[in-house]
Amino acid sequence: MKYAIIYSSQTGNTALLAHHIQCYFKNDECVYYGPITNECIKADIIFIGFWTDKGTCDGPLSEFLKMLQSEKIFLFGTAGFGGSPQYFQTIINNIKSFINPSNQIVGTYMCQGKMPMSIRERYVQLAIENPHKFLPLIENFDEAFSHPDSNDFQKLTDILSTLPNHM
């Protein structure tokens, strides 16, 4: 199988998933691994990674997705908020809306990803005025801080193992 991994990662969480996918397919041919590119990619499957930016993927990645035609795509990504499969599904659906129907989405995977400490510091300040709103956000921040973790990587492996051998 020829595959490509194209990902957008600001702080490294999604990059860790990308690396995990590459390790999983170490016996296959990786034709491209890295950030969004204008290079013409000829692969049996393209793994596309995103970080969640305001409920969807970031702008450059959405523009890249809009250009794809007749590809097999596996979407993977991370988000600061976790704990709800419906939340992840909403994000995936938002991102799918950028993808032309000539493409086939063969799988998706999302997990939580840690956020920069500056965000926690801001929440702590804001919680002084509005604890009802910001204490749960601090709790979520702390929950996210260890992700992606070994359990997240195992779940990704499980999903990858369901993909047909030769796409």
Ligand X SMILES: Cc1cc2nc3c(=O)[nH]c(=O)nc-3n(C[C@H](O)[C@H](O)[C@H](O)COP(=O)(O)O)c2cc1C
Binding site for ligand X (CB under 6 A): 9-15, 51-55, 78-81, 113, 115
CB of 10 to ligand X, least distance (A): 3
**How far is it, in rounded angstroms, from Cα 56 to Cα 50?**
9
CB of 92 to ligand X, least distance (A): 12
Per residue, what are the HEC states of 83-150? Answer: CCHHHHHHHHHHHHCCCCCCCEEEEEEEEECCCCHHHHHHHHHHHHHCHHHHHHHHHHHHHHCCCCCH
CB of 41 to ligand X, least distance (A): 21
Instruction: Give the residue nearest to ligand X (CB).
Output: 113
Which CB, 54 or 166, lies closer to ligand X? Answer: 54
Which CB, 3 or 81, lies closer to ligand X? Answer: 81
